[in-house]
Amino acid sequence: MVERDANPAMGVDTGVDLRAHLKTDRRWVIKIGSAMVTGNGAGLDLSAIDRWAEQIAAMRAEGREVVIVTSGAVAEGMARLGWPERPSALPELQAAAAVGQMGLVQAYADVLLRHGIHTAQILLTHDDLSNRQRYLNARSTLRTLLDLGVVPVVNENDTVATDEIRFGDNDTLAALVANLVEADVLVILTDQLGLFDADPRKNPSARLLTEVTAGDPALETMASPEGGRLGRGGMYTKVMAAKRAAQSGAATVVASGATPHVLLQLAAGTSGVGTVFQPAQTRLAARKQWLAGQLRARGTVRVDTGAAAALRQGGRSLLPIGVLEVTGEFTRGDLVRIVDEAGTDLGRGLINYGSTHAKRLCRQPSNAIAELLGFAEEDELIHRDNLILL
Ligand SMILES: Nc1ncnc2c1ncn2[C@@H]1O[C@H](COP(=O)(O)OP(=O)(O)O)[C@@H](O)[C@H]1O
Ligand SMILES: N[C@@H](CCC(=O)OP(=O)(O)O)C(=O)O
């Protein structure tokens, strides 16, 4: 039996009861590692997938949104091809992943459909998320799927991923997906009860830490980069994923996928389950801080008095109807300055339309966007979540 201990040096005393917070957190990214999905390499563990699906269905019924990030393509491919060891050559890994991915998504699709929930396969590479246009497209697709009540099932696109464009481990991918969908919580299900103060495989007296602060450098020395036989990255990439998720304001929990009702216990705020990584700041504060740190505005949007008042007092999004003039050359997702009629700085924001389109939308109602441009991305020129006032 593992001793549970919140090491006082690692404890969090922010006055925020993070476990209680989980009870109301709405958007969850749940990452499931290879060892858990494939019953330690013995082929897909369908009964485990079934148990998680049942819990995810219960979470959906409570009004929560869930994105699954699942590993296991390579491990399932190995099982299907009868390979006992994970290959080291990239083409073989990619071949195994291509074989295994088929069974992996089918398994999630089948079990979730039994609960009346549709799934969607999303395969991403690092390249997709570092290219602004593709990042925004992936983000819109994921948000639309969530709005439709679909559970996206994400994995790395192993077939095309070469060294320069691969995440390499799904913990990093999951943190980036948490950022992409602005998740409240990232859950990483693995084959240990959580983060221990040393690798429990090597040190049987290692103690479980239940509450820690994301980004605490001490955690990085405790977490070994060695994974199990199937996984990659070990606990180190999970600690780094928690740090990354915290930068967009998400809390991370590392817990065992084998703990009965693990997801429902977390969603109920049950204490002692897994390791909770507390983010140092709130989601909105993190996002606004990121926006404030962006110095290079690519264009300027001049707004009328009504729009300026709506932004200042009402915390509203900027609609094209309130825009007098757009200057500069920029693409969708770029940072622009927002100024009032007199040209005084009001704020900064990420714009939903490129400059050619934005210029055509000045003074137009949002319901005319589709007709004017032949397509409509969003009703707002700048959404309030992507806007800071100076
Ligand atoms: N400090 C630590 N606490 C818990 N596990 C650790 C720690 N350091 C290393 N590990 C190892 O990390 C492994 C989990 O990583 P990995 O095999 O990559 O899992 P997954 O497939 O779930 O991503 C555990 O089985 C454990 O041996
Ligand atoms: N895309 C790979 C992920 C490999 C991986 O990172 O595994 P893990 O460390 O178990 O999350 C696969 O599906 O096998």
Query: Per the annotation, does 170 bind a ligand?
Result: yes
| pTM of the predicted model as reported, rounded to 2 decimal places | 0.79
Task: From the CA of 191, give the closest atom in ligand 1.
Answer: 25
Q: Give per-residue pLDDT as tens, 123-140.
A: 998 878 777 678 878 988
Q: Give per-residue pLDDT as tens, 341-387.
A: 999 999 999 899 999 999 999 999 999 999 999 998 889 999 988 88
Q: Give per-residue pLDDT as tens, 14-30.
A: 445 789 999 999 999 99
Q: Give the residue carrying structure tokens 């049987």.
A: 204
Give the mean pLDDT of the chain. 88
Q: Give per-residue pLDDT as tens, 42-101.
A: 789 999 999 999 999 999 999 999 999 999 998 899 999 999 888 888 899 899 999 999
Confidence of residue 286 (pLDDT cuts 50, 70, 90): low
Which residues on neighbouring strands pair with residue 350, listed in sequence order?
335
Per-residue pLDDT at 14? 43
The answer as to CATH 2.30.130.10 being correct for domain 294-389 is: yes
Q: Give per-residue pLDDT as tens, 187-244.
A: 999 999 999 999 999 999 999 999 999 999 999 999 877 766 665 668 999 999 999 8
- Residue 154 Cα to ligand 1 midpoint, Å, equals 21
Cα 201 to Cα 192: distance, rounded to the nearest angstrom: 9
- CATH code of 18-281, in short, is 3.40.1160.10
Q: In the chain, what are the domain boundaries?
A: 18-281, 294-389
Q: Which residues line ligand 2 (CB under 6 A)?
A: 33-34, 71-75, 97, 155-156, 158, 169-170, 227, 231-233
Cα 86 to Cα 287: distance, rounded to the nearest angstrom: 39
- Is the dihedral angle over the CA atoms 82, 86, 90, 96 positive or is it negative? positive
Higher pLDDT, 132 or 273: 273
Q: What angle do CA 80, 83, 85 make, to 5 degrees?
A: 135
In sequence order, which residues have a C-beta less than 8 Å from that of residue 317 and are 6 or more positions away?
380, 381, 382, 383, 384, 387
Query: Per the annotation, does 140 bind a ligand?
Result: no
pLDDT at residue 292 is higher than 70: no
